[in-house]
Amino acid sequence: MLDIRFIRENPEVVKENIRKKFQEEKLPLVDQVIALDEENRAAMSEANDLRAARNQLSKQVGMLMGQAKKDPSKLAEAEAAKAQVKANADRLAALEAKETELAEKIRKILLVIPQIIDPSVPIGPDDSANVEVERFGEPAVPDFEVPYHTDIMASFDGIDLDAAGRVSGAGFYYLLGDIARLHEAVLAYGRDFMIGKGFTYCIPPFMIHGNVVEGVMSQTDMDGMMYKIEGEDLYLIGTSEHSMIGRFIDQILPEAALPQTLTSYSPCFRKEKGSHGIEERGVYRIHQFEKQEMIVVCKPEDSMAWYDKMWRYSVELFRSMDIPVRQLECCSGDLADLKVKSCDIEAWSPRQKKYFEVCSCSNLGDAQARRLKIRFKGEDGKIQLAHTLNNTCVAPPRMLIALLENNLQPDGSVKIPEVLWPYMGGTQVLTPKKK
């Protein structure tokens, strides 16, 4: 969400940014919001003049009414002054109603105009133009066939999609036995990994109010992702970032309290509308999953440094589990409207012989902070908007796909990465119960 003053003073910059995001249909919004802002400021100016004149006129009426008691010839002048006071009050009420109406129209447009992207973001219309930056670890293709991920899980009696379908429908699952334990081991390891990086562990609310949803994500993303609780102003979160950033709504933090570095656990609920290919079925794209997230609230000058730290934490985490990954820079057309810069960390899939997304790291600049009024007060007393960032730490069961495929052995067993042994009760290898 951009500052209306910035749009007013830099309309061509805002329009060029819209073109870079291939959202030409939004170009007219810039002129529309500037015109509405001009109309609103004119109404505010007139209203302020009327408020300034109100006390003076009221005093004048009182004085004239007092004089009219002694001199009836003053009565007409007093009545005229009273009529002017009434007219001004009616006009002021109309202007205040107009200000409210115009402010709401302006706010709705500002929610749609995209954030200014960082100059380093590659320009392209969609994810096909995303740019590979760097690879970490050697992607390997084994000399044996790698089964589909749910078949690997089934060999350990670790998944039941049929029962989940009967109970909840498509897009849900039961995880069982060693696979369920591995799922929780990954989450626990991700939690402790981030605590080791100095992040504070949090468990947030899993439902949030509509104004928080509007503050943390775009309307398009909201409609495509969020489940609403019927009859209540509550939504199930799609990621813990939503409630974690919402924690700071309407807050002015002391500068010394920044950065806020938090790692949060939550279940996540997503509609996941649309049809998807075979490799995105199973437990890859689902309506319910669990995730460990990382969130940073910091000073503006520190946000890019935190962005680099956060995606590198993801690389370090996945490499510690023997999973090759790459960093993929998201292009302008693939950025959500609130994002300044974003990248995906993709894990290698030996089955697909390609990489797939397991983490998404984003710098949102002051977009969420402006919507939610998240500010900090410097030592000089100046109040500024903070910057917010988020990144996936681990999100099983999707992350389990990468772990199982990359650690699968020819006999169908799966090596447990050494960092997970303490979370698996010392188990180092999973042996299939059936082939």
| 123 has pLDDT over 80 | yes
Please state, as a whole number, how many other Cβ atoms lie within 10 Å of the Cβ of residue 287: 17
- pTM, full prediction: 0.89
Which residues in 314-332 are b (16+ Cβ under 10 Å) and which e?
bbebbeebebbbbbbbbbb
Q: How would residue 61 be classed by pLDDT, with cut points 50, 70 and 90?
A: low
Bridging pattern class, strands 288-298 and 354-363: unpaired
Task: State the DSSP code for 278.
Answer: G
Please report the DSSP string for 58-105 in residue order: HHHHHHHHHHHHH-GGGHHHHHHHHHHHHHHHHHHHHHHHHHHHHHHH
The more confident residue out of 10 and 88 is 10
Token code pair at residue 82:
């009273």
Token code pair at residue 257:
């309290």
Reported as a single tens digit per residue, the pLDDT across 70-101 is 556 666 665 666 677 777 788 889 999 999 99
Q: How would residue 290 be classed by pLDDT, with cut points 50, 70 and 90?
A: very high
- State the DSSP H helix or E strand holding residue 277, giving kind and residue range, or none if neither: none
The residues that bridge with 357 in the sheet, in sequence order, are 346
- State the DSSP H helix or E strand holding residue 114, giving kind and residue range, or none if neither: none
Token code pair at residue 306:
């935190």
What are the phi and psi torsion angles at 376 (to 5°)? -140, 150
CA separation for the pair 181, 164 (Å, rounded) = 18
pLDDT at position 276: 45
- State the DSSP H helix or E strand holding residue 318, giving kind and residue range, or none if neither: helix 303-319
CA separation for the pair 300, 306 (Å, rounded) = 10
Under a CB-based contact definition with an 8 Å cutoff, are residues 165 and 173 in contact?
Answer: no
| 29 has pLDDT over 50 | yes
pLDDT at position 283: 84
C-alpha torsion sign, points 16, 22, 26, 27: positive
Q: Is 216 exposed, middle or buried (0-12, 13-18, 19+ CB in 10 A)?
A: buried
Tokens 């100095």, residue located: 198
3-state helix, strand, coil in the chain (%, to 5): 50, 20, 30
The more confident residue out of 160 and 66 is 160
Return the SS3 of 17. helix
Q: How would residue 51 be classed by pLDDT, with cut points 50, 70 and 90?
A: confident
| 270 has pLDDT over 50 | yes
Q: Is 186 exposed, middle or buried (0-12, 13-18, 19+ CB in 10 A)?
A: buried
- Indicate the class that CATH gives domain 127-430: alpha beta
Reported as a single tens digit per residue, the pLDDT across 14-23 is 999 999 999 9
pLDDT at position 81: 62
CA separation for the pair 12, 7 (Å, rounded) = 9
CA separation for the pair 189, 316 (Å, rounded) = 13
- Indicate the class that CATH gives domain 4-110: mainly alpha
Mean pLDDT, rounded, for 389-395: 96
Domain boundaries, the chain: 4-110, 127-430
CA separation for the pair 37, 27 (Å, rounded) = 16
Output the furthest CA–CA distance in the chain (Å, rounded): 112
pLDDT at position 52: 76
Task: State the DSSP code for 13.
Answer: H
CA separation for the pair 282, 175 (Å, rounded) = 12
CA separation for the pair 20, 413 (Å, rounded) = 48
pLDDT at position 388: 98
Q: Is 347 exposed, middle or buried (0-12, 13-18, 19+ CB in 10 A)?
A: buried
Residues 6 or more apart in contact with residue 364 via CB below 8 angstroms? 115, 338, 339, 340, 387, 388, 389, 390
Residues 6 or more apart in contact with residue 232 via CB below 8 angstroms? none
CA separation for the pair 366, 386 (Å, rounded) = 6
Bridging pattern class, strands 375-377 and 252-254: parallel
Computed over every residue of the chain, the mean pLDDT equals 91
Which residues in 28-64 are b (16+ Cβ under 10 Å) and which e?
ebbeebbebbeebeebbeebeebeeeeeebeebbeeb
